[in-house]
Amino acid sequence: MKTFQYFADGNWRDPASGQWFESDDPATGKPWARIPRCDARDVEIAVAAAQRCFTQGPWSRMNAADRGRMLRRMGDVVTRHAERLGDVETTDNGKRRRDIVPALQGWLTDSFHYYAGLADKIEGAVIPVDAPGLFNYTRHEPFGVCGCITAWNSPLVIAIWKMAPALAAGNTLVIKPSEHASASTLALMEVLQEADLPPGLLNVVTGFGDEAGCALVEHPDVRLLSFTGGVAGGRQVAELAARQVKPLILELGGKSPQIVLRDADLDLAVPGIAGGIFPPAGQSCIAGSRALVHRSLHDRFVEALCSHLADALPGDPRDPATQVAPIANRPHFERVLRDIEGARAEGARCVLGGKAVHPEGLGGWFIPPTVFTGVTPDMDITRKEIFGPVMAVLPFDDEEEALRLANDTPYGLAAGIWTADAVRAMRMAEKLEAGTVYINNYFNATPQSPVGGYKQSGYGRENGIEGMKAFMQTKSVWLGMAP
C-alpha cells in the first residue's frame, strides 16, 4: 500500500492527527493507498502558507506575463506526466485510463495554456462618470487565498479547471479533494513541482468533508470558495460560507435531458446519447440520464439503444478495450443499486442491465448500462441524480411537451437536442433551463467555453474568460483632479 502525505508550503507533511484512512481501488475493491486525515490544524498550515505566498512571497511580486509563463510550464509538466497521473487516477477512482490520459495530454494541458495566454490580458476600464473633475477607473484584482473543494468522479479535471484560472488571476490555492479520491490530486502536486512553483502557491489538504472541508470553508483568510460536488454538500458549504458572507462558486449535480426529436438521425443520436452517460458509468455531472424521445421513435430508439449497448460491459479501467468504468467507491455502488431497485419498485420497466456484474478476476464494483422504460415524470428515477449508469426513457408528443419535461427538474446543468432541424434546435435551446446545450453532439468541453449550472446545478462559471473573472473582484478607483 502506498502512504501519501499532504502538501503545504512546498513540503510534504504528515497530518497533525497522526491518522490515515484507506482509499480503495474500484476495480479490485481492495485498499491500495493510505490518505492523510487532515483537520483544522493542517488547514491552518496550508492557509497560512497560501496567505504568505499571496502577500509576501515571489508570487506577490510576479507580473502577469510571468504568471502566464508559469502556467505554460504547468501544462507542459502535465503532458509529460500524463501516463503517471492517469495511472493514479485510474487506480484510485476507476476512471478509464483511455479517457484520462489523452485528456491530460490534450484539453487539460490546453486549460493551463489557455489561461497562460489570458493572464496578461486582464484589463480594467476608464469609466466616463457623470462627475466633473473626477477620473474613475477599474481594476480586476485576485481575491487572495481561494479554497477549492472537489468531487471524487473527476478529481484531476475539476482541480485543473479551478487551478488554472485561479492562478492566472493571481490567487493562491488550498485544495481539498474528496476522501474517496484524493491520490491523483496529490500526485498532481508532486509533478507540478517541476514547474518551479513558489512555496504556498498550491496546497492540498486531504481528509473528510466535515473535518478538513469545513475547516477550509470557515477559515477567515480563505476569501473565495469554489466547490464542485452534490447539491446537499453545496448547500452545507453555502450555509457555512454565508456566515462570513464569503463568495462562492458552486458546480453541482444534474439530471440532464437528451431530447430526440421526430426527425433525429438515430444512427447519430443513439451512440451520442449512450456516449453521454455510460463510458464513465454515469459518474459525470452532465450525464444525460433522461432520454426524452418523440413517441413515433420511442420503440425504435429503445431497441437501437439496447442493441448498441449489448456488448458494452464494465471492466478493468486499465484495459483500453473496457467500455464502461467501474463505480468509484463502495458506498456509491450500493446507493446506485438501491436506486435501481427503487425504480423497479415504483413500476419502471428495466429493459437493459439492472444488476451488478462481476468481471472475471476483478473483485470491484461494476454495474452495466441500465435502461428503464415505462417511466413517468414523477418517479424518483426521473427526478433524482443517480450518478450511475442508469437511463430513464420517456416519450413526448410535441416540442412544447419536450421542453416542459426537460425543464421539469430542480437541476439545470446540461441538455442535448438531436434533430435535423438546426433552427428549431436553436429555438429550443433558448427555452431550455440549462447552463450548456448540445445540439447533435454531447459531452464536449474545451477551455474556451464556460460551463456551469442553472437552478440547483449551481452558480458561477468555470472555463473561458468568465472562469477567470469568477476568481477576480473589481475595484473602482476615483481620482479627484481638482488642483
Are 313 and 357 within 8 A, CB to CB? yes
Instruction: Choose between 252 and 293: whose C-beta lies nearer to ligand NDP.
Output: 252
Return the C-alpha cell found at 446. 474545451
Q: In sequence order, what DSSP letters do the residues of 431-468 get, joined into one string?
A: H---SEEEES--S---TTS-B--SGGGEES-BSHHHHH
Query: What residues line the site for ligand NDP (CB under 6 A)?
Result: 149-154, 158, 176-180, 208-210, 213-214, 217, 228-230, 233, 236-237, 251-254, 285, 385, 387, 413, 453, 458
Q: Residue 462 CB, nearest distance to ligand NDP (Å)?
A: 7
Helix, strand or coil, per DSSP, at residue 143: coil
Are 6 and 205 within 8 A, CB to CB? yes
Q: Residue 95 CB, nearest distance to ligand NDP (Å)?
A: 12
Instruction: Choose between 175 and 264: whose C-beta lies nearer to ligand NDP.
Output: 175
Return the C-alpha cell found at 267. 444512427
Q: Residue 433 CB, nearest distance to ligand NDP (Å)?
A: 15
Instruction: Choose between 46 and 413: whose C-beta lies nearer to ligand NDP.
Output: 413
Q: What is the CA radius of gyration of the chain?
A: 23
Return the C-alpha cell found at 57. 512571497
Q: Residue 339 CB, nearest distance to ligand NDP (Å)?
A: 13
Task: Select from 255, 252, 254, 225 the least CA-distant residue to 240.
Answer: 225
Q: Residue 4 CB, nearest distance to ligand NDP (Å)?
A: 15
Sign of the Cα pseudo-torsion (8, 13, 16, 18, in order) = positive
Tell how strand 390-396 and strand 290-294 pair up.
parallel
Return the C-alpha cell found at 206. 486531504
Instruction: Choose between 323 and 329: whose C-beta lies nearer to ligand NDP.
Output: 329
Rounded to an integer, what distance in angstroms lies between the CA atom of residue 291 and that of residue 288? Answer: 7
Are 223 and 444 within 8 A, CB to CB? no
Catalytic residue among 89, 211, 251, 462: 251
Return the C-alpha cell found at 114. 489557455
Cell 456484474 appears where? Answer: 357
Helix, strand or coil, per DSSP, at residue 169: coil
Catalytic residue among 53, 214, 285, 350: 285
285 is catalytic: yes
Instruction: Choose between 41 and 349: whose C-beta lies nearer to ligand NDP.
Output: 41
Q: Would you call 360 exposed, middle or buried from its count of C-beta atoms within 10 A (0-12, 13-18, 19+)?
A: exposed
Rounded to an integer, what distance in angstroms lies between the CA atom of residue 382 and that of residue 376? Answer: 7
- Residue 39: count of CB within 10 angstroms of its CB: 19
Q: Residue 177 CB, nearest distance to ligand NDP (Å)?
A: 6
Instruction: Choose between 51 and 228: whose C-beta lies nearer to ligand NDP.
Output: 228
Q: Residue 439 CB, nearest distance to ligand NDP (Å)?
A: 20
Q: What is the DSSP letter of 355?
A: S
Instruction: Choose between 25 and 251: whose C-beta lies nearer to ligand NDP.
Output: 251
Q: Residue 252 CB, nearest distance to ligand NDP (Å)?
A: 5
Instruction: Choose between 61 and 243: whose C-beta lies nearer to ligand NDP.
Output: 243
Which whole-number Å values give the CA distances from 199 to 30, 193, 382, 411, in the listed order?
A: 35, 9, 47, 39
251 is catalytic: yes
Are 210 and 179 within 8 A, CB to CB? no
Instruction: Choose between 81 and 332: whose C-beta lies nearer to ligand NDP.
Output: 332
- Residue 83: count of CB within 10 angstroms of its CB: 12
Q: Residue 329 CB, nearest distance to ligand NDP (Å)?
A: 9
Cell 509529460 appears where? Answer: 80
Cα dihedral angle (128, 132, 134, 139), rounded to 10 degrees?
Answer: -10
Catalytic center residues: 251, 285
